[in-house]
Amino acid sequence: MAGGKLSARQKMINLMYLVFIAMMAMNMSKEVLSAFGLMEAKFSASNTATTERNGKLLAELTTKGKENPAEFKVPAARAQQVKIATDKFYSYIETLKQDLLREGKYTADKESGKLDFEAMDKTDILDEAWFTGDRLTKKGQEVMANIEEYKKAINDILATDESYRGQADSFNALFSTEKVENKDGKKIDWLSYHFQGFPAIASYTKLTAMQNDVKVTESDMLSLFLGNIVSEATTLNNYQAIVLADKSAFFAGEKFQGRVVIGKYANVPPTSLKVQGQEIDLSKAIDSSGAATLDFNVGNVGQHEIEGEFTFIENNKELKIPISANYVVVPRPNSATISADKMNVVYRGVDNPMTISFAGVPDNKVQATGTGLSKAAGQGKYIMKAPTGKEVTISVTATLDDGKKVTDSKQFRIKDIPAPTGMISGQTGVVKLPKRNVEVGTVGAKLDDFVFDLPIETTSFKIKVPGQPTVNVAGTKMNSQARAAIGRARKGDNITIFDIKARITGNASYRLKNVSPVVVEVTN
């Protein structure tokens, strides 16, 4: 565990855990407690040396930033941010160590300045201060909050440049606060795993070791800013295969065309993103993996291009990556295709509206033909004026993106407008009315349950009163001769209104079928 090709620092950490295990087995002997104290002293000495070295690195960066601002001004500023975050967290850890000494009443020897490590065997100091049952106290929550605040500060700095990715991965692994699996296979909170139930000297040493992690992180980042660390290995294990289709929609039977490339997602956010000439709000568009979410109107049916530009900062310089892709817009499905096999009908004498389209093909590349068919306003809109005969065929030709043409056709039956129904005063068939109502009533015609709401006007009709000669009437109202005949009718007589002549308003050329008669039974 302490051997192999490990750094001296890692060997020291591993040795610390081995000593702790040995300490438990030896029932915390005084010698083991002293061994922890010796490791704490080594970490403390290392922290002092690293602090001194970091000061020199920072001074060098500051000087380079003044001498060569184009290359080092930005790294020098980032180094100052790292120092601020480091000093703040390092000092906070120091307060935790002082709290531990104060609560345990541990004091250093006046002559040597060293703590009495063998006396630091209490396990309840941090247990009472940081933990309560299975939860953290306010102090324990404060400890975790300070760790997360430090991590965020460092990660925000590392997120400013794609070349820092490797350091960011190492940092997050070093300061991971995920739950840890104990010897029983149970996952417990990070703070409990590392500090609950430990003797004071062990916790004190761990806090000093954490300070060492903070100082080493500062050192690595300063070296990174000076260009002395390779940020990320070039192993292909960090990449994945990405399929780039030539277009985002294909027709059945077409060949798939595209490319497969090796790439990876950037977890460093860009400084700007433009798509279709519009600036994108990065706070809403970039997810945790570095992928950008696009949200824009797709436009009309057909093929469209996507153009844009990512801008990243790499090695303190702007790196622009163009965005180029295409997509195909097909008509939005808004209804099911349901058809009765024998109900494909158009009616003679009216304008039959039709919608004709070819799935996935824009309207300007669709051509429909048929006797009596003409284009109307709107995408896919046509008017069919049914010709003579019993059937008409509509053919449709579509031109695909590759220039190929596909055709389809459908046959429709032609039917005449059904015979209208005669009416008087809005009533049809056999009705009962007083003579006076018949005299002043209006005679008309209507199409019952017809698919078109056609305006029908009546031009003439005939009326027959029992015992009276038939009277011819022009228009829709009874003339004087018809009123005189109606006046002679008796109660119970059936007055017949027949041979009603009607026509479609605005289309006098079409002859409607004979209008059905109306029979009125006189009620007085």
Question: What ranges do the domains of the chain cover?
Answer: 8-225, 236-329, 345-415, 421-522
DSSP conformational letter for 278? E
Place of tokens 């801008």: 311
CATH number assigned to the domain covering 421-522: 2.60.40
At 323 the pLDDT is 74
**CA–CA separation, 174 and 210 (whole Å):** 10
Q: Judge whether 496 and 517 are in contact, CB under 8 Å.
A: yes
Question: What's the token pair of residue 127?
Answer: 């247990």
Tell me how many degrees the CA angle 265-269-272 measures, rounded to the nearest 5.
Answer: 115
- Among 401, 449, 448, 388, CA closest to 422: 448
At 175 the pLDDT is 92
At 3 the pLDDT is 44
Return the H-helix or E-strand segment holding 520: strand 518-522
What is the dihedral sign for C-alpha 435, 437, 439, 443? negative
Fold match between domain 345-415 and domain 421-522: yes
pLDDT digits (tens, 9 = 90+) for 85-96: 999 999 999 999
Q: How many residues does the chain have?
A: 524
Could you give phi then psi for residue 179, rounded to 5 degrees?
Answer: -60, 150
Could you give phi then psi for residue 366, rounded to 5 degrees?
Answer: -120, 130
At 167 the pLDDT is 86
**CA–CA separation, 500 and 226 (whole Å):** 103
- List 272's β-bridge partners, or say none: 311
At 330 the pLDDT is 63
At 20 the pLDDT is 59
CA distances (Å), 241 to each of 234, 288, 346, in order? 16, 20, 55
Could you give phi then psi for residue 147, rounded to 5 degrees?
Answer: -65, -45
Residue 498's contacts (CB-CB under 8 Å, 6 or more residues apart) are 422, 461, 462, 463, 464, 517, 518
**CA–CA separation, 514 and 264 (whole Å):** 78
Percentage helix, strand, coil, to 5, in the chain?
35, 25, 35
First to last CA, the chain: 119
Strands 430-433 and 518-522: parallel
At 335 the pLDDT is 46
Place of tokens 């009546």: 458
Return the H-helix or E-strand segment holding 38: helix 30-67
Strands 131-132 and 302-314: unpaired
Place of tokens 């403390």: 44
Q: Is 511 helix (H, G, I), strand (E, B) or coil?
A: coil
Strands 443-446 and 494-504: unpaired
CATH number assigned to the domain covering 345-415: 2.60.40.10
At 382 the pLDDT is 93
**CA–CA separation, 177 and 191 (whole Å):** 8
What is the dihedral sign for C-alpha 258, 262, 267, 268? negative
Residue 181's contacts (CB-CB under 8 Å, 6 or more residues apart) are 187
- Among 52, 50, 32, CA closest to 205: 32
Q: Is 380 helix (H, G, I), strand (E, B) or coil?
A: coil
Tens place of pLDDT for every residue, the chain, 524 residues?
Answer: 444 455 666 667 666 665 655 555 444 456 656 667 778 788 888 889 999 999 998 898 888 888 888 888 888 899 899 999 999 999 999 999 899 889 988 888 877 778 877 788 888 888 899 999 888 999 999 999 999 999 999 999 988 887 788 888 889 999 999 988 877 788 889 998 888 888 888 888 899 999 999 999 999 999 888 874 333 333 444 556 665 666 666 655 566 666 666 566 665 567 777 777 777 776 666 665 566 676 666 667 667 777 777 777 666 667 777 877 776 666 554 444 545 555 789 999 889 998 888 877 888 888 999 999 999 988 889 999 999 899 999 999 988 877 888 888 888 999 999 999 999 999 999 999 999 999 999 999 998 888 888 889 999 999 999 999 999 999 999 999 999 999 999 999 999 999 999 998 888 888 888 999 999 999 98
For residue 287, the tally of other CB atoms under 10 A from its CB is 12
At 231 the pLDDT is 37
At 161 the pLDDT is 80
